[in-house]
């Protein structure tokens, strides 16, 4: 009985967590200031924690539901990291504050320089 309630609570709260990830992804996608409030170390830690739990669930107890839930959580964390990096790069290119030697995918001259074309 207690284990069933615990499993149901785990499922409900992790489903809600996925909804929150989607909300975060949406907010980053709409951000125009480079998503400065996103902490890479935090999101990388959450990605690693979710990934390791998914792997453990597949290899140790063999709980497919746990593996899928944490796998999806890790995927959402990875999307947050990648989208934040893209938005920060886009923002810095837009305001013209790209650090020296930092390739700028939004600038034709920079792309030509990277590929050795003129």
On the question of pLDDT at 116 being above 70, the answer is no
Question: What pTM was estimated for this model as a whole?
Answer: 0.76
Q: Which of 2, 17, 25 is nearest to 49 (CA)?
A: 17
Can you give the length of the chain in residues? 118
CB-based burial of residue 107 (10 Å sphere; 0-12 exposed, 13-18 middle, 19+ buried)? middle
List for the chain the helix, strand, coil content (%; round to 5). 75, 0, 25
pLDDT band at 99 (very low <50, low <70, confident <90, very high): low
Q: What is the mean pLDDT of residues 52-56?
A: 93
Tokens of 100: 């020296």
């Amino acid at each position: 009985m207690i284990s069933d309630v615990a499993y149901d609570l785990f499922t409900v709260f992790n489903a809600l967590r996925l909804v929150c990830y989607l909300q975060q992804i949406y907010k980053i996608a709409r951000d125009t200031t480079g998503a400065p409030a996103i902490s890479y170390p935090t999101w990388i830690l959450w990605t690693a924690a979710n990934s390791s739990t998914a792997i453990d669930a597949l290899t140790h107890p063999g709980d497919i539901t746990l593996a899928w839930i944490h796998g999806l959580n890790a995927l959402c964390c990875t999307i947050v990291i990648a989208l934040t990096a893209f938005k920060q790069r886009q923002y810095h290119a837009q305001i013209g504050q790209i650090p020296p030697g930092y390739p700028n995918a939004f600038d034709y001259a920079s792309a030509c320089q990277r590929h050795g074309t003129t």
